[in-house]
Amino acid sequence: MVYALVLPLALVLGYVLATPTDVSSAGTVGIVLAVLAFPLVLRWHHQALFLSWGMTAVLFFLPGGPPFWLAMAFLSLIISCGQRALSKEKQFIHVPSLMWPLILLVLVVAVTAKATGGFGMRLFGSDIVGGRRYVLMFAGVAGYFAMLGQKIPANKALLYLGLFFLGNLADAIGTLIPFGPPELYPLALMFPVSSLEIASVHDLAPTFLSAQGVTRFFGLTVASLSVLCYLLGRGGLRGLMSKPWRFVVFAAVFIAGSLGGFRSFFILAALTCLLVFYFERLFRSRYFAWLILVFILVGTFLFAFSERLPLSLQRTISFLPVKIDPVARFDAEVSSEWRLQMWNIVLPEVPKHLWLGKGLGIDGEQLALASELLGRSLASSQEVAMLAGDYHSGPLTVLIQFGIWGLIAWIWLLAAGLRALYLNFLHGDGYLKDINRLLLAYFLARIAVFFVVFGNFYTDVPQFCGLLGLSLSLNNGIRRARKATQMTAKEREPGSLGSALGAPA
């Protein structure tokens, strides 16, 4: 039977591979590979979901080039639902306090999309584009429920923590591709090169360390932030300070992330560390003196050598009261001024979309016209960004695009998620203490950055849903306080009724 299947299949594959560039040939080979990989997907879909979450890798061979995590979110949810239908032992983790705000959020997004032009996509030839952003939001919710498809075993908690955060190390590939040999350029099909062009690769290295401009590296920033979170989840700040080599790695990764040129990275990472420090109650220990010493040393170094640092790093710390190169200062101030101008233009639009949001749909012809006018200096970049819905402000992206109902659902979800993470931190198992502390601190820091520094609703929904899904699957839902029973000395005597009731099974 095996040969009866394999030999005809080999003949068919040999025939289609004679024309490898043909679409039908690629489709046939893809179907065969998908069938062969299906048992592996059934076995490892849950781990692959956590590994791919937040990764910028795309499936370039599929129409539209969807992100890898998006495909895994829907695929893992379908597999989990199928396993639940076939076996009663396969149960989803039930968390009603988070399920209802998510349902409300999905309903608000779906109704807004239907009332403002539908889920148009350029892929299907629609005049209204932007449907991809709706799909990203729905995938974030689908991935959350897929994560709750099974509880993570205790002996695999650190493995899943590493999969969730260290999987984003792959994002650095898009930053490194332009600096490598041309043989690596095809990797850009799967790992997009963000804000960089391969054609200008020879200008990148001198620009990075010279005064010709400020180069920013998004992939390096994301990868560094993920490593920082993983190290904090492994043993907290106490573990970092008790092991010098871990602290050195932590400091090196923090510096590498700051080289990305994003001020939001520095704020998010520093705020996460301070919250972890607070939740560990280290301000009552000898480590508090070490923290003060580190602040003094870092502050002294920045005041003395800030102008000699790479321009991208200077841009990252431009909000601090230190001297930096005029080029980095100008680049940061232009960015801040651009956002202020954008917000002044957008704020009057909020009352118009308070009850029915604008949605994420964009008129393709208007966007093309605006881009052309921008190229001819007949339109400002703020006008193009407004048309595209990129307001560079978390609250504005919620209010304008989904109205007051979207904001209510979003705040409800964040409040319920914060409560769940806090209860898991208080009452979770001891082996999850460091992980639960990190997730609570990181969730709080991301909320602060979303509302104060920078946020984008449709891209942040998957981030927050992923953090909640990881916490709930690790803790088997929301942990509650255990009821302690107290017995008198007489009840604890051997042979007594209290001793018999209180004895472990």
What tens digit of pLDDT does each residue of 356-415 get?
A: 888 887 765 656 665 665 556 555 666 666 666 778 888 988 998 899 999 999 999 999
In-domain check, residue 15? no
Residue 85: predicted pLDDT: 85
In-domain check, residue 23? no
Query: 213 — alpha (psi -120 to 50), left (phi > 0) or beta?
Result: left
In-domain check, residue 34? no
* Residue labelled with tokens 């480590």: 287
In-domain check, residue 38? no
Residue 227: predicted pLDDT: 93
Q: Tell me the CA distances in angstroms from 456 to 20, 120, 392, 396, 452, one per residue in order.
A: 41, 20, 7, 9, 12
How confident is the model over 44-102, as pLDDT tens digits? 999 999 999 988 888 887 777 889 999 999 999 999 999 888 887 788 899 999 999 99
Residue 210: predicted pLDDT: 37
CA gap 240, 232 in Å, rounded: 8
In-domain check, residue 76? yes
Residue 17: predicted pLDDT: 80
Q: H helices within 428-488, ranges in order?
A: 433-448, 457-475
Total structural domains within the chain: 1
Please provide the average confidence, as pLDDT, over all residues in the chain. 82
CB atoms inside a 10 Å sphere around CB 287: 18
Q: Which of 458, 468, 466, 462 minimizes the C-alpha distance to 394? A: 458
- CB 74 within 8 Å of CB 137: no
CA gap 458, 144 in Å, rounded: 15
Both tokens of 289, joined, read 């003196």
CA gap 25, 31 in Å, rounded: 10
In-domain check, residue 489? no
- CB 443 within 8 Å of CB 417: yes
Angle between helices 131-147 and 457-475 (to 10 degrees): 10
CA gap 94, 64 in Å, rounded: 34
Nearest 5°: CA angle at 155, between 53 and 281? 80
In-domain check, residue 39? no
In-domain check, residue 503? no
Q: Pick out the chain residues at pLDDT < 50.
A: 196-212, 484-505
**What DSSP character marks residue 354?**
S
Q: H helices within 243-325, ranges in order?
A: 244-258, 263-279, 287-305, 311-316
Phi/psi for 357 (5° steps) reads -65, 165
Both tokens of 437, joined, read 């502390």
CB contact burial 413-444 (16+ within 10 A = b; e otherwise): bbebbeebbbbbbeebeeebebbbbbbbbbbb
CA gap 118, 130 in Å, rounded: 9
Domain span at residue 364 reads: 53-475
CA gap 379, 374 in Å, rounded: 5
Provide the residue count of the chain: 505
Residue 48: predicted pLDDT: 93
Residue 446: predicted pLDDT: 95
